[in-house]
């Protein structure tokens, strides 16, 4: 088991516009984040989790690559389909199931030329919401198989 901390939250309300930073986000079971354009029960890309360390390596700011949850201290490289993120207190955690890696698109090259190829395999982890609830900046997050 690995654990870390949520350092930023973002809601992408409208396609093609910057994501809005928030201190609190409400995860809705089987749907995604309230107010986010990816909220849809049929979407396997409901919530994108990204690590601060990778963003810093590429000189990117939280939310710049449209992640919803930015974490620190949690190595995402071992996350595999079916693994689960547990957010918040152990007695009533919000849970997100990993659906796969987020493949970088051409929009990465608009941020930094060559980034699409460079960040491949490190673009973040896509998830769906299993158990909803309130997510806050500063909440603990852990990943388990």
Tens of pLDDT, residue by residue over 18-69, are: 899 999 999 999 999 999 999 999 999 999 999 999 999 999 999 999 999 9
- Reported as a single tens digit per residue, the pLDDT across 122-145 is 999 999 999 999 999 999 999 999
Q: Find the DSSP H helices in 16-130.
A: 52-57, 107-111, 115-118
CB-count exposure of residue 28 (10 Å: 0-12, 13-18, 19+): middle
What are the domain boundaries of the chain? 2-144
Rounded distance between C-alpha atoms, residue 50 and residue 125, angstroms: 6
Q: What angle do CA 52, 54, 14 make, to 5 degrees?
A: 65
Question: What is the band of 119 on the pLDDT scale with cuts at 50, 70, 90?
Answer: very high
- The residues, any chain, with a CB within 8 Å of residue 65's CB and separated by 6 or more, are 50, 55, 108, 111, 123, 124
Are 143 and 5 spatial neighbours (Cβ–Cβ below 8 Å)?
A: no
CA distances (Å), origin 12, targets 46, 58, 85, 91, 114: 11, 21, 20, 29, 24
Residue 74 pLDDT exceeds 90? yes
What's the pLDDT band for 2 if we cut at 50, 70, 90? confident
| pLDDT for the residue numbered 64 | 94
CATH class of the structural domain 2-144: mainly beta
């Amino acid at each position: 088991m690995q654990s870390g901390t949520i350092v930023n939250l973002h809601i992408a309300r409208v396609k093609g516009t910057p994501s809005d930073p928030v201190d609190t986000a409400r995860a809705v079971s089987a749907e995604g984040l309230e107010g986010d354009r990816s909220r849809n029960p049929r979407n396997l890309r409901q919530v994108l989790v990204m690590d601060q360390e990778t963003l810093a390596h590429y000189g990117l700011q939280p939310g710049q690559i449209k992640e919803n949850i930015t974490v620190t201290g949690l190595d995402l490289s071992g996350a595999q389909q079916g693994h689960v993120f547990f957010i918040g207190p152990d007695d009533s955690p919000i849970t997100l199931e990993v659906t796969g890696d987020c493949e970088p698109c051409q929009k990465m090259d608009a941020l930094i030329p060559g980034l699409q190829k460079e960040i491949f395999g490190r673009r973040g982890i896509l998830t769906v919401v299993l158990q909803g609830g309130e997510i806050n900046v500063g909440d603990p997050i852990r990943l388990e198989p």
